[in-house]
Amino acid sequence: MYRKVREPDWPGDVVFPTGRRGALPYLKEELAMGSTTDKIKGLANEAAGNVKQAAGKALNKPGLEAEGIAQERKGEAQQMVGKAKDAVKKVVDKA
């Protein structure tokens, strides 16, 4: 349906069947794929962080516990990024 244009002035641009230029279809595709990945990676990091925290408490290793807290926060942030991408995708889809 779309074809890529390989011109130096328009890198990664597309030409719509009507001849109009734009990058919106690629933006939609990236947002759709990336949001799910971010949410899954976020859940994995959050779970791993919780395991590290528990291990750090059980083994009385504050460094491991702190590492677990940091990884859990990283996972929470990744999930928020995924949710934000979903919100942007909804706005782009309405446009």
How many angstroms separate the CA atoms of 5 and 23, rounded? Answer: 11
How many angstroms separate the CA atoms of 10 and 27, rounded? Answer: 15
13-36 pLDDT tens trace: 444 455 555 544 444 444 445 888
pLDDT at 35: 85
Q: Indicate the domain borders of the chain.
A: 24-87
Which residues touch 57 (CB under 8 Å, ≥6 apart)? Answer: 65
At 94, list the tokens.
Answer: 């309405």
Q: What share of the chain is helix, strand, coil (3-state, %, to 5)?
A: 70, 15, 15
How many angstroms separate the CA atoms of 48 and 78, rounded? Answer: 14
pLDDT at 33: 54
Mean pLDDT over each residue of the chain, to the nearest integer:
77
- Name the band, by pLDDT with cuts 50, 70 and 90, for residue 80: very high
